[in-house]
Structure 1
């Protein structure tokens, strides 16, 4: 999974804040127990003091502290038994005074075997969803809220199928893509006029894939190509951020490149687009391209190599019918 440095930092801040909150709550519970039974505080101090004295003595002597710890365990057995009995009398668990990590896999560090632990990854997923929500209406645009009622059931002679049946098929393809992303992945090209549901289904897929714990980047073609241009010509003062953004575009689990065709097409844009498409195909990363252009228009506008890869490696989903936004306004 390719992580965005800024998002991972935000996730770690939230992760550490919750960790600190749990510690404070533990200390408050611990203090409340000590107030109920002051003898427990004394026992804990005696155990801690003896532990520190024996271990430090063993280390100063250059010996293995393990035998000393065994001696400590035996010497303080009566204190431990007394603590246990007092806690049982209070109706509390015998380990209630022990601080335990919320995640036993990483001990609340957020990392395991030099990789992001699943506990911190859950925070990252939430932060990523917040980031996606700045561009997509993830709250309302989901597979559960998608409706076919706005699509005409009259057959379109140009396509030989009704907009309704076509969207029924497209919905199934997009839902299967998202639900089975962890096993299959894939690439989609969504084409058609504005207002037909491309952004809605893109948001639904982004939401589902994100909640599955995968890295998702959603951005417009204009902004994505601007990032590549800034990297190439050093036009951005914060070069590190641009490098991170480009790396994440190329290597995230799912890239959704929206509004292809709204950018000014230059030789550089064609080269950057080819780099994105080719790199992600070679590395097995999934991409969804959404455009108001038809496949033929895309082929004429961009290079033959790009058209070949889109037509050969992407499942093309043509959207047609009446503008749903206008129908809803009417």
Structure 2
């Protein structure tokens, strides 16, 4: 699993902010109890000071401090019993004044050794969804809200099946792709005229995959190619373009929308080849959305790209009537 550096920084900042809020809430709760029973502050002070001295002494000797802590726990039993009794008199549990991290696995650090902890992965997934929601309607464009009713049952003479039959297959492929992502990946090419559901199903895939903690970049081809130009010609101050391109090349799933609407130049062909080839070599998944047919893509972007698309991508045609127009006509 790959992590988007920009998204991970946001996730870590949110986790840290939540940790600080919990600690501040605990300190307020602690002070409220101390104000009611000052003796509890004295007991906690004695326990903390004694523990600090014993642990420091053990560390200076190069010894494991855990046995010393166990002895301390036994020696201070009377203080602990008094503490428990005073809390009980307030109808509070014995551990009320003990701070507990939200994640017992990593103590709210976010990592366990070199691995990212599950708690930080949850923050990451939330931030990933928030990032995608800036350009996609993840709640409205999902597999649950997709409807086949907009697709005609009459056969299409060119494709030899009805739009409805075709979309039943396309929907199943896309849903299986999203739900099995990580165990099985691969690449998809979604092509057809505008208004047939390519962006809708791509958004549904993005939402499902990102919800499971995978890094997803969803962008238009024109904007992606512009970032490659910014990097090449030094138009971007700092590391913005370089970082964006790193995200494009290294994310778990790249969804490139509206391929073919940009002005196609030799540079654009080269950039697309770099993206497609790099991701294939590193076995990173990619979805292409385009209004162009495979033959049109071949003529526009050249044989090298066409051969990779034909050999490494599952090609899914979209055909039928423009759904956006149908919805507008039917109110």
| 1:206 corresponds to | 206
Structure 1 gaps of 5+ residues are: none
- Taking the aligned partners of 2:328 and 2:73, their CA distance within structure 1 comes to 76
Please name the residue that 1:268 is paired with: 267
Listed as ranges, the matches of 1:165-314 within 5 Å are: 165-238=165-238, 240-314=239-313
What SS class does the counterpart of residue 149 from structure 1 fall into? helix
**Do the aligned partners of 2:3 and 2:214 also contact (CA within 8 Å) in 1?**
no
Q: Which residue of 2 aligns with 1:50?
A: 50
Separation (CA, whole Å) in 1 of partners of 2:222 and 2:175: 27
Q: Structure 1 residues 145, 71: closer, same or farther in 2, change over 3 A?
A: closer
Equivalent residue number for residue 99 of structure 1: 99
Cα distance in 1 for residues equivalent to 2:172 and 2:298: 26
Of the structure 1 ranges 320-329 and 111-120, higher mean CA displacement relative to structure 2 is found in 111-120
Q: Which deviates the most, 187-196 or 45-54?
A: 45-54
Contact 1:194–1:292 (CA under 8 A) maintained in structure 2: yes
- How far apart are the structure 2 equivalents of 1:59 and 1:250? 47
Is the contact made by 2:188 and 2:313 (CA closer than 8 Å) also made in structure 1?
A: yes
| 1:118 corresponds to | 118
Deviations 1:228-283 (CA, angstroms, capped at 9, x unpaired): 22222222112x22222111111111100000001111222111111111111111
Q: CA deviation at 1:68?
A: 5.3
The separation in 1 between residues aligned to 2:148 and 2:319, in whole angstroms, is 13
8 Å contact kept, 1:58–1:64: yes
Q: Find out whether 1:21 has 2:46 as its counterpart.
A: no
Q: For the Cα contact (< 8 Å) 1:2–1:248, is it kept in 2?
A: no
Which stretch of the first structure deviates more once superposed, 81-90 or 11-20? 81-90
Shift of 1:43: 0.8
Return the alpha-carbon distance in structure 2 between the equivalents of residues 118 and 212 of structure 1: 11
CA separation in 2, counterparts of 1:257 and 1:136? 13
| Greater Cα offset, 45-54 or 227-236 | 45-54
- Structure 2: gaps (5+ residues): none
Alpha-carbon deviation of 1:102? Answer: 0.9
Assess if the C-alpha contact under 8 Å between 1:43 and 1:83 holds in 2.
yes
CA contact (8 A) 1:225 1:272 kept: yes
2:129 match: 129
C-alpha deviations, 1:107-141, integer Å up to 9, x for none?
Answer: 11122223332212211211121111111111211
- 2:258–2:291 contact (8 Å) kept in structure 1: yes
What CA deviation, in whole Å up to 9, does each residue of 1:56-89 have, x standing for no partner? 56667x5647365455334322112222333344
What is the alpha-carbon distance in structure 2 between the residues aligned to residue 55 and residue 154 of structure 1? 79
Paired with 2:64 and 2:152, the residues of 1 have a C-alpha distance of 79
- The answer to whether 1:323 aligns with 2:310 is no
Report 1:121-160 matches (<5 A). Answer: 121-160=121-160
**In structure 2, C-alpha distance between the alignment counterparts of 1:63 and 1:281, rounded to whole Å:** 52
Q: Post-superposition shift, 1:175?
A: 0.5
Q: Deviations over 1:282-309 (max 9, x none)?
A: 1111100000000110011112111011
Deviation per CA, 1:168-203, whole angstroms, max 9, x where unpaired? 111111001101112101110000000000000010
What displacement does 1:313 show?
0.8
- Whether contact under 8 Å (1:4, 1:244) holds in the other structure is no
Give the secondary structure class of the aligned counterpart of 2:316: strand
Deviation at 1:33, TM superposition (A): 2.8
TM-score by length of 1: 0.93
